[in-house]
Structures are given as structure tokens and as C-alpha cells.
Structure 1
């Protein structure tokens, strides 16, 4: 049940684009055609599905205070959490390089279509955000970390695919001149964000007859969402 709830919540309610507005650079620049949006979205899903569980392992067994106790009692007091950003970014850059090599080898046309935005996945704040949200939420198992990584990637994939499909159709619409281009894209993105956020009521339900423990859990989840927003703002500042 926990896996299913995390999966759908990461896709619809805590969507990287519509909830925290991470990865907007690629989202806006590569969403002019569905074909390129699908390619970049698939690359983002793969990178998040690999980097989030790998970074979870790094966080659990190297970076957290006392994580090095498996090396011996003398290492139990070490705290390497200050290396989190460096380690996470190194893992992400490695995976992105692998994706770039594979795409260039097997799909040169897609590689040329994506252009500079494929290697820029390494500095895509949505990718780093996935690992930092995993850390801030204190995800307990590698299975949940993998679940969160792939579901967050699918959420970003759906977002860029939806806006690309709309932008292809909107070319034939009579959009007012001042709103053409990014103007109408931002308006559509805002409306889509409202739609995605409305799934929250379907997944969480009402509080009228909920037991005290469930209410406390929901309050804790709301606090986690606030923390996620704070982390997202910090990521944007770093970027």
C-alpha cells in the first residue's frame, strides 16, 4: 500500500513540474514537438530511476552521521553529510553521460533533436531534486527509493508530453499576439498544475471520520510537502 500511495502521489500530487516547478528550462525548451519530448522524458525517467536509489545507498552507508559504522567502531562518529551535493551530482553526471552515449549510438536523430538539452540533464534541478527530496523525506528502503525515482520521472515525463501535445495543436489556434510562445505556455502550465493538484483529494480522502493516527500521518505528510517546497527553492537558488 505504501508503494502504491508513493507512486501515484509522486506522479500527480507532488509532480516535479506542477508542484515544485523544477526542471522548467528543459520543460519549456524541448516541448515544441512530441517526438523530442518523449525522448527527453524517457531519458529523465531512466536517470531518476537509477540515481535516486544509488544516492539512497550513498546516503545510508556513507553520508549520514554514523553511516560508516559498518567499517568499524572507530568510524561510527564520522559525519560526511556535507558531501551530499557533491556525491549526488557526481552520480547524476555519470548516469547522464551514459544516457548520452546510448542515445547517440542507437538514435542519432533523437540525439541531434535534443541538442544541448540532453547533457544538460546533469544540471536539471528536477534530477537533483529527486535525490534531495528522497533524503529529506527519510525514505527507509531502497525499494521505496526506486519507486520514488521512477514515479517522479514518470510525472515529469507526463508533464512534458502533455504540454508538447498541446503546443503542437495550439499552433493552429488563434492565440492573441501578446500571448504567443511562452505566454500561452505558462498559462496552460498553470491550468495543468491546478488539474494535477486536484488529484490530492482523490488520493488522501476526507478527514471527517479518519482515526487520530491517520490524521497525524496526514499532518506529517503536509509538513513533508512544505519541506519539499523549501528544498525546491534551495535547489533553484543553487542552480
Structure 2
């Protein structure tokens, strides 16, 4: 069996979470890639911050699928699912960019993962969370659809883009607190990093809601 060390990857604590990480990840990933909003945004939202999908949307799917797990285990399952999904995507990219079509599928995929793991000096969960799981699919679409068609679809998706929901804002605020623990400050709304900015937007959204509620 081929194992890759991923720095910062949360390990499941309970037996059930460990079982899910061993046996159910394909099912979790299937739910994620069949989620219409996830697919639309992953493929066509030019302003997408990948963590909105990898952390927020996948986090929501895990919570709904496994409400009995505690927060730590839910996060561990989320990380394992995203790591499995994104490493596979990156492996496919590596295969497509390689020049060895003779290799059988399985070894090609493993070689692809190895190649990606070697290309980045240190594989950590933050890096994996920053990968849009649909970038490979978009590259394929871009080859099969005309630029105009792609733009039209992107425009339709963009027009449908929803504002933050309360649940998403809460999730972002939670992640903002984790960010504060690690960095000693809250995320900044003017940050250059789009994910930091997104977390700050979540906090601001909740503050606005509180202020509106207080003002009746």
C-alpha cells in the first residue's frame, strides 16, 4: 500500500470516524461532486476561493452525513476526503501532462500522486484545501467547449451566485477563531489572501446580523 504523509492532517479519534476514513470516503466524495452548487461554483465561479468548497461545503456535507461524530472527527473526515479527492485530481493532471501512455491505470495514478507529492516540497492539509477539486474537469471542458460557450455558462452561474447563508457565516467564523488561535489575530477583511478575506466576511456578516437583531 502506498502512503503519503500530509502535514497537519487531523487523525480520526473515534472508531466510527476511523472506519469512515477507511471505508466511506468514496461515498463522501461522490456526495460532494454531485452537489450542484459545488460543481457550478467549482467549474465556473471565477471569484471562487477553493476553501469555500473544500472546507465550508465539504464540512457541511460531513455534518449532515455524520451528525453523530464530534466536531474534531467531522473535521478529520473532511480533511481525509478532500485529501483523497484533490490528490487524485492532481495525480490525473500529472498523468495527462506526462508522456507515458503505456502505463496501466493503477500504476499511472500512483506515479501521478508521487509526482505531485515530489513537486511540492512539503505536502500539508492547508495546501490541499487550497486546490479547487474541479480545476482538472474545467481544463477538460475548456478543450471541448468554445470560449464563448464557457463564458456564457460562467455568466449564468455568476448571476445565480448566492450571498452567504447564516450557516456558512457561522462556519467561516468558527474557522476565523481557529485562525486567531494560530496567528494571534482575527482574519482581515482587506487581506491579500482570499481565504482570510472570506473568513473575515463571515465574521462581519454575523456581526451585522447581531447588530440588526439588537436594533430590532
TM-score normalised per structure 2: 0.31
More helix by share: 1
Q: Which has the higher contact order (CA 8 A, sep 6+)?
A: 1
